Structure 1
């Protein structure tokens, strides 16, 4: 009996040192982006740059994810120090920090990859015994939304200059011009982008006018984002690179659209954005891939569409063209940083930030 009593005491003692489970529906977790909360305990992250922020105490932290395809990558920052999670298919707990000092710590989880890599259910955190969540960081007051393609997603941005563009490990939305700009402006960002997408035609059977209103970024689907739930002060549209390739180089549209039709297609999409966000300042960007190289007509299409909207009375819209620098692949981090610097200054001047 003494042995059994001693064993019971040991077991009870072991429970004292058990980890602390934090459910995904904990009110102290701060979510950003188009996230599917149909089940509050199992939110689904699919868009690039969607994030979870928190403050916590405890000497260790683990993250539990249930990944759809086993293709997603996530950044996990503990006090600004990054760890990358390569998500395995299915449910798995990832130990991301241990041996942390006593006191408060900051957590930020961001989705590096995008909808074509599938959705990921966030199932919660595991803290060391005695750890707890603290009140989250204050919400940023400025909101900015980006509509774009692989450039905005950050495709290949962490690849060497002479490396391939397509490796999933080298796609990091956190270091895209969009995310860098948002941080520089102290703004909360929604990044509505998809590699390969265009306005008139894409490398797959749907375009941004089909895709921009979805809650889920996993392919073309019937989900619906509630635009009234989050309103941007500034919108950046960076599209037409894939249209240039598929129309001019690949000859995928027949009959070949003339200049007026290309301008009208772009203007029609931007007018949809304007109808959703009547007070936002809209920045129509292009670049910095070969759609902006010398002799290209595509910057002119964007400028003309914007001029037509301004002539129609819309004065809260303008154009920025990121300069072509001769690099043949997707922009690398240094080019994203340079474009972010240009865009940040532009928005500060135009939006009064």
Structure 2
């Protein structure tokens, strides 16, 4: 549907095929549900004015978003409840083309089915142009680090709220920018490979990897397509970066998880000497190896890089054993482990998580590693 609002033309996203979608979404184009960190839209448009029709619902948490014009951030804000028109720019040279990106800054909220961010359409006096293709595609799978938790905000901040999450100040986004790559981010704070930080075995990223956004509950999210099986053929990455294990390590020092409904229990145990129990490390390694097999089946040509180390290295030996076991069992030679630079007291951000500088250091190192794997020229220094 198109209509004129004075000199502005209004169109639904389904009528704007030149608008590019970023991130895994459901099948609906109007409205377009932005599930994951860093999801959004990108467009190139002429004209003096551009507005986007944004709808948000706020439960316990609220979605945050930012907007970029020609690669530069011009706005970052909390979405307001309801459906409204949000201005992107006004009064710019109508004859020049502007590359615009709308980015969801906060992660999918697995504990809050009422938190949602949708895009319906756009309003402009200009014309849409094709969005240039980027050279590469990279998928990132991780936890709070990959969600950018604490990447923005003062070091003293401890409130667990969406304001301290950032898609653009996190290593995944920065790595993709360095490699001129489109990226998709699948991440959830507190989740792991075998269990979450609290030993909850339901908080496993491998369990939702093959869905659009399977960690979101509620009838509305299901209607928006969150539980649909993802079509991997529609977007094949050159590399999949897995940054999981930090919460699995934390589970060893957390209390036993007990399900209120069933009484089921789960615990990653410590041995008598305080070390990680060998049997439970083995269970983590088996789960990690199975996940590598699943990632490979879904992405047959991609490099798989398990990147780890920004918040400690205690699970690194197990990660290396899992990657080695996968490679030996399958003959897969496009899989690697990469140690990320550790956060320091100087680079710590909010909520005792990596800050922007820690993410920049990680992105610089990871991008250089990926350049070598993908046969790209090294960065000039």
Q: TM-score, normalised by structure 2?
A: 0.81
Question: What is residue 362 of structure 2 aligned with on the other side?
Answer: 339
In the TM superposition, what are the counterparts of 1:103-114 in structure 2 within 5 Å? 103=95, 104-114=97-107
- In 2, Cα distance between equivalents of 1:287 and 1:345: 16
* Residues 26, 228 of structure 2: 8 Å contact kept: no
- In 2, Cα distance between equivalents of 1:276 and 1:352: 22
Q: CA shift at 1:55, angstroms?
A: 1.3
- In 2, Cα distance between equivalents of 1:325 and 1:281: 25
- In 1, Cα distance between equivalents of 2:90 and 2:203: 44
Question: What is residue 207 of structure 2 aligned with on the other side?
Answer: 210
Q: CA shift at 1:181, angstroms?
A: 0.4
- In 2, Cα distance between equivalents of 1:266 and 1:209: 9
Bigger helix share: 1
- In 2, Cα distance between equivalents of 1:271 and 1:150: 23
Q: CA shift at 1:217, angstroms?
A: 5.5
Question: What is residue 274 of structure 1 aligned with on the other side?
Answer: 296
- In 1, Cα distance between equivalents of 2:343 and 2:135: 34
Pair 16,247 (structure 1): closer, same or farther in 2 beyond 3 Å: closer
* Residues 304, 335 of structure 2: 8 Å contact kept: yes
The alignment yields a C-alpha RMSD, in angstroms, of: 2.1
Q: CA shift at 1:254, angstroms?
A: 3.4
Question: What is residue 21 of structure 1 aligned with on the other side?
Answer: 10
Q: CA shift at 1:251, angstroms?
A: 4.6
- In 2, Cα distance between equivalents of 1:331 and 1:228: 34
- In 2, Cα distance between equivalents of 1:85 and 1:22: 24
Question: What is residue 342 of structure 2 aligned with on the other side?
Answer: 324
- In 2, Cα distance between equivalents of 1:333 and 1:151: 11
Question: What is residue 239 of structure 2 aligned with on the other side?
Answer: 234
- In 1, Cα distance between equivalents of 2:343 and 2:182: 29
What SS class does the counterpart of residue 303 from structure 1 fall into? helix
Q: Which runs of 5+ in 2 are unaligned?
A: 218-225, 258-265, 270-278, 377-381
Question: What is residue 80 of structure 2 aligned with on the other side?
Answer: 88
1:46-86: per-residue Cα shift (whole Å, max 9, x none)? Answer: 11111211111222222211113261111111232421232
- In 1, Cα distance between equivalents of 2:209 and 2:268: 26
After superposing the two structures, state which structure 1 stretch, 145-154 or 168-177, moved more: 168-177
Q: CA shift at 1:244, angstroms?
A: 1.0
Specify which of 48, 52, 69 is matched with residue 78 of structure 1. Answer: 69
Q: How many residues align?
A: 330
Which protein shows a greater Rg?
A: 1
1:300-353: per-residue Cα shift (whole Å, max 9, x none)? Answer: 111111111222311111101223344471111110000001100111112212
Question: What is residue 34 of structure 1 aligned with on the other side?
Answer: 24
- In 1, Cα distance between equivalents of 2:177 and 2:130: 17
After superposing the two structures, state which structure 1 stretch, 331-340 or 140-149, moved more: 140-149
- In 1, Cα distance between equivalents of 2:5 and 2:235: 42
- In 2, Cα distance between equivalents of 1:20 and 1:340: 40
1:263-283: per-residue Cα shift (whole Å, max 9, x none)? Answer: 111111111101111221110
Question: What is residue 53 of structure 1 aligned with on the other side?
Answer: 42
Question: What is residue 303 of structure 1 aligned with on the other side?
Answer: 320
Q: TM-score, normalised by structure 1?
A: 0.87
The answer to whether structure 1 residue 352 and structure 2 residue 368 are counterparts is no
Q: CA shift at 1:255, angstroms?
A: 6.6
1:174-205: per-residue Cα shift (whole Å, max 9, x none)? Answer: 22101110111111111111111111112563
In the TM superposition, what are the counterparts of 1:251-262 in structure 2 within 5 Å? 251-252=256-257, 253-254=266-267, 256=269, 257-262=279-284
* Residues 85, 94 of structure 1: 8 Å contact kept: no
Q: CA shift at 1:222, angstroms?
A: 3.3
- In 1, Cα distance between equivalents of 2:69 and 2:195: 41
- In 1, Cα distance between equivalents of 2:126 and 2:215: 33
